[in-house]
Amino acid sequence: ALDRAVALDPDDPVALLRRGQAKFLAGRMDAAATDLYRAHEKAPDIPEAAIWHYLATARAGRSDGRVLLQRIEAPADSWQAPIIGMLLGRRMPGSLYEADGPAPLSPHRWACDRAFFVGEHFLAEGQPDDARPYLQDAEAACGRESLPYLAAAADLARIGTATDSASTAPTR
């Protein structure tokens, strides 16, 4: 369906973003990065494309995603700002647990996104053992139909689960 949507309108940034995210879920990081880059080119005001592009390129062992992410100027009160800050090394992952989430997100949604993106940060850094508890927390906090839940589940299947499934992610 996503391939058909992109075929109908190859310049549709949302279709490119969603197809890139689907490829990310499937572990096809280079292919995901291509679609996510194109989505950002078509709509540079959609920070998600740059965030997911960075994650896909880092997971593919490439460094070019950082350049695109550095160009994003997300409003300070947006949910993307602390995530981008963490991915660029301007914030420690634990700092996302020190304050309430950004105003546009419910506390439940922030718990989901925060855990997921901290886990993805550690996977991007090549630290699957550090990522695991956060991805497990994302699975627990996110709705089963949400993209973070699906991506966390896919990543946990790829890296394996620890024998001790108790979460060690920081809590507030």
Asked if the model's pLDDT at residue 82 lies above 50, the reply is: yes
Asked if the model's pLDDT at residue 172 lies above 80, the reply is: no
Amino acid, single-letter form, for residue 71: R
Q: Rounded CA gap, 25 and 46, in Å?
A: 20
Q: What pLDDT was estimated at residue 169?
A: 56
Residue 143's CB is within 10 A of a number of other CB atoms, namely 12
pLDDT tens for each residue of 36-56: 999 999 999 889 999 999 999
Would you state the structure tokens that stand for residue 125, as one six-digit string? 């850094």
Q: What pLDDT was estimated at residue 162?
A: 61
Average pLDDT for 133-155 = 95
Would you state the structure tokens that stand for residue 50, as one six-digit string? 């740059």
Q: What pLDDT was estimated at residue 54?
A: 96
Q: Rounded CA gap, 138 and 155, in Å?
A: 11
Check residue 75 and report its DSSP letter: -
Q: What pLDDT was estimated at residue 19?
A: 95
pLDDT tens for each residue of 87-120: 999 999 999 988 777 777 888 889 999 999 999 9
Asked if the model's pLDDT at residue 6 lies above 90, the reply is: no
Average pLDDT for 52-80 = 90
Give the model's confidence band at 163: pLDDT under 50 very low, under 70 low, under 90 confident, else very high.
Answer: very low
Radius of gyration of the chain (CA): 15
- Higher per-residue confidence, 73 vs 153: 153
